[in-house]
């Protein structure tokens, strides 16, 4: 029971941050699972299994609070599903750590751009619809391979381009349900087909259950929180979180943590 409560707490905290700022659920949850000795591929699969439930609740909250741009949503979700499915198969065959330095550099650049926008206080501008498909494709792939790259990749790109943070977060979080479902289905397919020989699935059911429980408790708060935070303050918060994620990834690459 202690393990279940621990992972529920992690799931709650991760979902509060993810629902309010559009990222970090995967990063926080994966980091904790890896610290408990869960293999990387299994950690990514476990997090995405939990996210199927938490993102559904979060998507409903954002939709009810009108935080979703539906014109951006469809191509973003389709691209994300395709990229995520491909990334799931790649992760089961290739070491995803090879792309970590590139993700870290991307986060640092995007974080700086977002903070600059917050400092200048520029008026938000719509994100081009034609770029949402390719962006979703990249975000879904990195999410499956990196165990939590959807929000950091997609939300940061949209906010950095000038899209209103509330709309960026709501749209990305809503699309994430479909992306996460596709990635989880791909992981299941690799397991059933024998392409993925990772064992010990049953050993981590309590971790997944805890993440789901905590995430479901926090997810309904997401849409309301994003809606009431002022645009400029939300931009500062997103930029700061992105830079913190970049610093954390850098520390891990340098084996400082």
pLDDT in tens, 130-171: 999 999 999 888 877 765 578 888 988 898 888 888 899 999
Top-confidence residue, 197 or 139: 139
pLDDT digits (tens, 9 = 90+) for 100-139: 777 777 778 878 888 888 887 767 778 889 999 999 999 8
Query: Quick one: what percent of the chain has pLDDT higher than 90?
Result: 13
Residue (of 84, 62, 91) closest to 168 by Cα position: 62
What is the Cα–Cα distance from 249 to 69, expressed in whole angstroms? Answer: 31
Q: Per-residue pLDDT tens for 66-95?
A: 999 999 999 999 999 998 888 877 766 666
Q: What is the mean pLDDT of the chain?
A: 80
How does 110-145 read in b/e, with b if 16+ C-beta sit within 10 Å?
bbebbbebbeeeeebeebeeebbbebbbbbbbbbbb
Backbone angles phi, psi at 125, to 5 degrees: -130, 145
Q: Calculate helix-pair angle for 231-253, 100-120, nearest 10 degrees.
A: 150
Q: What is the pTM of this model?
A: 0.78
Q: How many CB atoms sit inside 10 A of residue 82's CB?
A: 17
Candidates 237, 248, 245; CA nearest to 21 is 237
**Residue listed under structure tokens 């950095």:** 160
């Amino acid at each position: 029971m202690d393990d279940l409560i621990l992972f529920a707490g992690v799931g709650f905290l991760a979902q509060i941050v993810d629902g309010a700022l559009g990222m970090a659920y995967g990063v926080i949850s994966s980091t904790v699972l890896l610290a408990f000795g869960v293999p990387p591929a299994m950690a990514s699969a476990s997090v995405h299994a939990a996210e199927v439930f938490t993102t559904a609740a979060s998507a409903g909250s954002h939709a009810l609070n009108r935080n979703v741009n539906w014109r951006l949503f469809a191509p973003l979700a389709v691209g994300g599903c395709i990229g995520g499915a491909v990334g799931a198969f790649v992760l089961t065959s290739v070491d995803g750590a090879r792309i970590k330095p590139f993700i870290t550099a991307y986060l640092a650049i995007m974080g700086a751009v977002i903070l600059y926008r917050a400092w200048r206080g520029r008026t938000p501008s719509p994100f081009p619809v034609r770029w949402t498909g390719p962006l979703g494709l990249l975000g879904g792939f990195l999410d499956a391979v990196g165990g939590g790259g959807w929000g950091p990749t997609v939300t940061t790109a949209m906010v950095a381009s000038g899209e209103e943070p509330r709309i960026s977060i709501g749209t990305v979080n809503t699309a994430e349900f479909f992306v996460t479902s596709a990635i989880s289905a791909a992981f299941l397919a690799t397991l059933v087909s024998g392409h993925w020989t990772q064992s010990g699935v049953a050993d981590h059911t309590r971790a997944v259950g805890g993440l789901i429980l905590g995430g479901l408790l926090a997810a309904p708060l997401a849409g309301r929180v994003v809606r009431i935070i002022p645009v400029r303050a939300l931009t500062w918060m997103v930029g700061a979180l992105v830079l913190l994620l970049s610093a954390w990834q850098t520390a891990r690459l340098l084996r400082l943590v």
